[in-house]
Amino acid sequence: MKVRFAYWTVAILTLAWFLAITCIVSLCIGSSDIPLAKILPALLHGGNTIERTILCDVRLPRILLGVAVGGALSLAGVILQGMFRNPLVEPYSMGISGGAALGVCMAIISRLGNRCGIWFLPVSGSIGAILTILVVYFLSTRRRVFNIRNVLLVGVMISFICSSLITLIMAVSRVEDLHGIIFWIMGSLEQPNVLLVRFAVIVSVLSLALSYFFCLELNALALGEEEALHLGISVENTKRLLFVMASVTTGLSVSVAGIIGFVGLVVPHFMRLFLGSDHRILLAASWLCGGIFLVFCDALARTIISPTELPVGVITGILGGIIFVYVLCRKTTSGGGGVKCFK
Amino acid sequence: MPENHFRGRGREMLQISDLTCGYDSGFTIRDADLSVETGKILGIIGPNGSGKTTLLRVMTRALKPIKGKILLEGENIWRMSVKELSRKISVVSQSPETGFMTVEEYVLLGRIPYYERFQFLETKKDKEIALNAMTLTDSIRFKDQYIGELSGGERQLALMARALTQEPKLLLLDEPTAHLDITHQVGILDLVRRLNRNIGLTVVMVLHDLNLASEYCHRLALLNNGKVHKEGSPEDVIDYRIIEDVYKTVVVVEKNPLSSRPFVMVVSEEARKTNTGGRIIK
């Protein structure tokens, strides 16, 4: 037991260390490289140098947003996979991304963006996400029992409906709108609104803290709902609160940064593989690792064909997909088949 | 664990009165009355679909009764918090999902009802209780193995250890001997009896095997079509007329020469036709 605690501490410290390194490297590189030695003076001493402007106004918010969104998505992934006892669930399985994307698409083709300012798209995305959450919630509740299997079915169906509608919108929309829609759907951490970045960071950190109130509940739920009840967990309340928490963090991430796929699916898997299925370590570890993964992918997206920038969703998709397949193959060859974590 | 920790105060550990409950498709338990005396082992027997597991589920609050009351030491279980209830009743259900964890991690989950609001790690006392439960059930020898890798008998021991870690007053077992060979059947039930004798644990268990039920239980409740058909000592309940009436099968009931408990033998159709064993069969 003591060994386990030490192992957890080491894991958290290692991940935090990696996060710090990734962030610092990410600060240095970009379309204009800033040497490491210049970063601290530029950040601390102020002044109006070009370096400071690049660092504080462009790269730092971007990295912070990367940590916040990556963390939030992975956290939502861990919570949902734990709650559903299903390794293929990710934050977007509940249709939230579809709803948010539909909201943003409609906002883009309505062309009110110029008049309503930079809040317009995130707010439309949030409205879309909230509407989806409400629909999924009410369609999955029967006789005051929140049926999580229905959540998945309803969520997947809503995703399909939304993506069909988005395709419809794209088919009839004008070329200049089309570019905006595609870029938004692929996801990007470029967010000029500093207030929104702050908001995302606060919500992400808060949800990590809040999730720790439920770590034992999640551990018990791994045994099934009735077993969790036998262990004194109020299953209905827990399911509802966890669903709301995961939805809100996902909805916010989608509204701020678009649809960044695979983070919420791959990172929790990866952490489970190394740290086991105890949510007391899994929540924090996944949050950190999600931050690392997204900041890393974003750095790649910025630099790979610089000065042109790739949508970060493309990088996470390719990189995440390859990692996922690799992990799955390794598991099936060594573990005797099946996804071990959920047996 | 202090001696007699599990011993309750009153005479009745559990009292079920006028209970009706069931699922959407129709009522499965109707107007049931049953009580469990503190420090005794009650066996619930009955044919498939007679409501045994439903009765157990309603005792754990997994199913809400439509009518009637369930009192645990005189207190209505629906008036308690779920947490409070889980400190008094622990359940070993039929082959639950056990997640991907080691036996020790699993057994420690049994301490969840005792965690404080902001407590995340188990205390020394929690670990001691878990260790004690694993020693009692002899599951300590495979404590670092993953539950998925255990044999059926070992797995059942691990489940028992987790249930004991909850320090219950009442232990509910849903077919603890299902899918086990006779060595492990006897092993598990001997353990149940030891726990009952040594620490005064009250036990309610659903059993399919009438002979095991007769051998190990102080009292038996025979369910049929959602009603308590007969409740009493094994000698009262395991009577060939009652058994034949409920199970619609021809049986012969003898006495176990060593324990002098009633013993049920089934009779095949062929044997029934060729030899009635001295007893006239309709």
- Look up the CATH architecture of domain A68-342: Orthogonal Bundle (1.10)
What distance in Å separates the CA atoms of residue A248 and residue A271, rounded to the nearest whole number?
Answer: 23
Mean pLDDT of A55-68: 88
Question: Quick check: B82 and A232 CB within 8 A?
Answer: yes
Amino acid A4: pLDDT:
78
Domain ranges of chain A: 68-342
- Mean residue pLDDT of chain A comes to 84
Please give the residue that has the higher pLDDT: either A55 or B255: B255
Question: Quick check: B62 and A229 CB within 8 A?
Answer: yes
Q: How confident is the model at residue B8 (pLDDT cuts 50, 70, 90)?
A: very low
Residue B9 above 60 pLDDT? no
The conformation of residue B102, written as its DSSP 8-state character, comes to B
What distance in Å separates the CA atoms of residue B212 and residue B188, rounded to the nearest whole number?
Answer: 11
pLDDT digits 0-9 by tens, A197-213: 898 999 999 999 999 99
**Confidence check on the interface: ipTM exceeds 0.90, yes or no:** no
In the block, which residue shows the tokens 């005794």? B40
Q: How confident is the model at residue A339 (pLDDT cuts 50, 70, 90)?
A: very low
Q: Which of A216, A230, A233 sits opposite B91 (nearest CB)?
A: A230
Amino acid A190: pLDDT:
81
Residue A219 above 60 pLDDT? yes
Mean pLDDT of B86-115: 87
Amino acid B282: pLDDT:
46
Query: How far off is chain B from A70, nearest CA to CA, in Å?
Result: 25
Residue B1 above 60 pLDDT? no
Q: How confident is the model at residue B110 (pLDDT cuts 50, 70, 90)?
A: very high
Q: Which of A226, A230, A342 sits opposite B86 (nearest CB)?
A: A230
Measured CA angle at B218 (ends B212, B222), to 5 deg: 65
Residues facing B34 on adjacent strands:
B16
Q: How confident is the model at residue B101 (pLDDT cuts 50, 70, 90)?
A: confident
> CB under 8 Å to A198, separation ≥6 — which residues?
none
Mean pLDDT of B273-280: 60
Residue A143 above 80 pLDDT? no
**Strand, helix or coil for residue B282:** coil
> In B, which residues are within 8 Å of A341 by CB distance?
100
Amino acid A332: pLDDT:
57
Query: What percent of chain B lies above the pLDDT cut of 70?
Result: 93
What distance in Å separates the CA atoms of residue B238 and residue B232, rounded to the nearest whole number?
Answer: 9
> In B, which residues are within 8 Å of A216 by CB distance?
112, 115, 120
Q: How confident is the model at residue A47 (pLDDT cuts 50, 70, 90)?
A: low
pLDDT digits 0-9 by tens, B133-143: 999 988 899 98
pTM over 0.80: yes
Q: Do A224 and A279 contact (CB within 8 A), yes or no? A: no
Residue A57 above 50 pLDDT? yes
Question: Quick check: A343 and B100 CB within 8 A?
Answer: yes
CB B63: neighbour CB atoms within 10 A?
A: 19
Amino acid B72: pLDDT:
92
Please give the residue that has the higher pLDDT: either B79 or A36: B79
Which chain A residue has its CA at the smallest distance from B24's CA? A143
Amino acid B43: pLDDT:
95
What distance in Å separates the CA atoms of residue B184 and residue B176, rounded to the nearest whole number?
Answer: 10
Q: How confident is the model at residue A85 (pLDDT cuts 50, 70, 90)?
A: confident
Beta strands in B47-157 (DSSP E): 67-72, 75-76, 89-92
Question: Quick check: B112 and A222 CB within 8 A?
Answer: no
Residue A191 above 70 pLDDT? yes
- Mean residue pLDDT of chain B comes to 87
Which chain B residue has its CA at the smallest distance from A222's CA? B99
CATH superfamily of B12-274: P-loop containing nucleotide triphosphate hydrolases (3.40.50.300)
> In B, which residues are within 8 Å of A232 by CB distance?
81-87, 112-113
The residues of B whose Cβ lies within 8 A of any Cβ of A are 57, 60-62, 81-87, 89-91, 93, 96-101, 105, 109-110, 112-113, 115, 120-122, 127, 148, 166
Please give the residue that has the higher pLDDT: either B207 or A179: B207
Residue B5 above 60 pLDDT? no
- What is the identity of the amino acid at B94? Q
Amino acid A70: pLDDT:
94
How large is the angle between the packed helices A2-28 and A263-275, nearest 10 degrees?
Answer: 140
**Strand, helix or coil for residue A279:** helix
Q: Do B219 and B43 contact (CB within 8 A), yes or no? A: yes
Please give the residue that has the higher pLDDT: either B5 or B181: B181
Q: Which of B82, B100, B101 sits opposite A229 (nearest CB)?
A: B82
Amino acid A113: pLDDT:
66
Q: How confident is the model at residue A340 (pLDDT cuts 50, 70, 90)?
A: very low
Nearest to A316 by CA among A253, A243, A272, A245: A253
pLDDT digits 0-9 by tens, B38-81: 999 999 999 998 888 889 989 988 888 988 999 998 889 999 99
Mean pLDDT of A98-125: 80
Q: Do A148 and A93 contact (CB within 8 A), yes or no? A: no
Beta strands in chain A (DSSP E): 141-142, 145-146
Amino acid A277: pLDDT:
84
Amino acid A299: pLDDT:
92
pLDDT digits 0-9 by tens, B162-200: 999 999 999 999 999 988 999 999 999 999 999 999 989
pLDDT digits 0-9 by tens, A296-336: 999 998 888 877 888 888 888 888 888 878 877 876 544 43
Domain ranges of chain B: 12-274
Which of A231, A269, A343 is best to mutate for the B interface (most B CBs within 10 A)? A231
Amino acid B264: pLDDT:
92
Query: How far off is chain B from A220, nearest CA to CA, in Å?
Result: 7
> In A, which residues are within 8 Å of B115 by CB distance?
216
> In B, which residues are within 8 Å of A331 by CB distance?
none
Which chain B residue has its CA at the smallest distance from A8's CA? B121
pLDDT digits 0-9 by tens, B36-46: 999 999 999 99
Using left for φ > 0, alpha for ψ between -120 and 50, and beta otherwise, residue A291 falls in: alpha
